Amino acid sequence: MKFVTLFARRWPLSLSAAASIGHVGATRAASTLTIRDALNQKQYLNQPPLITAIDRRRFATVKKKRQWNRTAQQSEDDEEEEEKEEEEDDVEDEGMPTDCRTKEFTMLSRRLDTVVGVALKTSISALGNWILQGRVRVNETVVTKKAHEIERGDLVEVWDAPYEENTRLATVHRLRIVRCRFDQRKGYVIKTKCWPNYIMENWVSGGEAGEEAQGEEEAQQPQEEEEEEEGKRDEEMERTAEETEKGSGRHTK
């Protein structure tokens, strides 16, 4: 009533109108309060429920079981894949020399220079220079990129030196990638087989260069024989000249 009387003193309105105005204001205030309470309650209801210690333990055990199942399944798959690779490897090794070296290691990448360097126990810088010089082949194709990525089943050949008896042949380090698979914990698991001092065609100085070198050697052989014969003839002529001089000296005496 105090609000109504003050309102009536300032503005000349009837008491009923003033009362109605006061009732509207009070209703609006009450509705505002109810809306705020509803919003706060809704915000409270949207909050996630509290996780108890028991729930955490249950979640941890379920997570461990899932991880264990994944690792067990992955290990089984890896074993099956390794058995399959070994069977294929035995078939591919038929007819190859038995003096091969097997090596298994893990790498963070599949770069040609790093993988072959570790397999052959050679510095990566030296192997990189050989790659740039065209002394490395992958699947009978010369590769000049050090960042070339190898794959399972690739055949890598590193040129060592020309064969002494025939320049068309060369001694190489032959390397085959038996296994190359990715492991989330270790990285790339790689298994290689290496045949050192393997004799095969010479692609560095082979072909026309090898034929030219062999032709030069064949041309040099008759020249050397002719020089030897000429030397023998000169020696015989000198001997005969000395003998004639000795004979003429005896007759003068």
Asked if 67 and 134 sit in the same domain, the reply is: no
The 3-state DSSP class for residue 3 equals helix
What is the spatial distance between Cα 24 and Cα 196, in angstroms, rounded to a whole number?
101
Q: How wide is the angle at C-alpha 178 spanned by C-alphas 172 and 181, nearest 5°?
A: 130
- pLDDT (0 to 100) of residue 95: 65
Asked if 154 and 75 sit in the same domain, the reply is: no
Which residues have a Cβ under 8 Å from the Cβ of 97 and sit 6 or more positions away? 195, 198
Do 173 and 213 contact (CB within 8 A), yes or no? no
- pLDDT (0 to 100) of residue 132: 93
Which residues have a Cβ under 8 Å from the Cβ of 147 and sit 6 or more positions away? 111, 112, 113
What is the spatial distance between Cα 202 and Cα 168, in angstroms, rounded to a whole number?
5
Residue 76: C-alpha distances to residues 39, 81, 129, 182 (Å): 55, 9, 41, 15
Helix axes 124-132 and 112-120, enclosed angle (nearest 10): 120
The amino acid at residue 139 is N
**Domain contains 241:** no
In 11-111, which residue ranges form alpha helices assigned H by DSSP?
A: 15-46, 53-92
Asked if 65 and 126 sit in the same domain, the reply is: no
Q: What are the phi and psi torsion angles at 157 (to 5°)?
A: -125, 125
Asked if 75 and 109 sit in the same domain, the reply is: no
Asked if 105 and 181 sit in the same domain, the reply is: yes
**Domain contains 178:** yes
* Tens digit of pLDDT at every position of the chain (253 positions): 544 454 445 555 454 554 555 554 555 555 555 555 655 555 545 555 555 555 666 666 666 666 656 655 566 666 666 666 565 555 566 667 777 889 999 999 999 999 999 999 989 899 999 999 999 999 999 999 999 999 999 999 999 999 988 889 999 999 999 999 998 888 999 999 999 889 999 998 644 444 444 555 555 556 566 666 766 666 777 676 666 666 655 544 4
- pLDDT (0 to 100) of residue 174: 93
CATH number where 157 lies? 3.10.290.10
Q: Residue 54, Cβ neighbours under 10 Å: how many?
A: 8
Asked if 113 and 199 sit in the same domain, the reply is: yes
Do 157 and 175 contact (CB within 8 A), yes or no? yes
139 DSSP 8-state letter: T
- pLDDT (0 to 100) of residue 171: 92
Q: How wide is the angle at C-alpha 193 spanned by C-alphas 124 and 168, nearest 5°?
A: 80
Range of the domain at 79: 57-92
Asked if 108 and 194 sit in the same domain, the reply is: yes
Looking at the structure of the chain, the number of domains it has is 3
What is the biggest distance separating any 2 CA atoms in the chain, rounded to whole angstroms?
A: 184
- pLDDT (0 to 100) of residue 167: 87
**Domain contains 14:** yes
Placement of tokens 């009533």 in the chain:
1
pTM above threshold 0.75: no
Asked if 61 and 107 sit in the same domain, the reply is: no
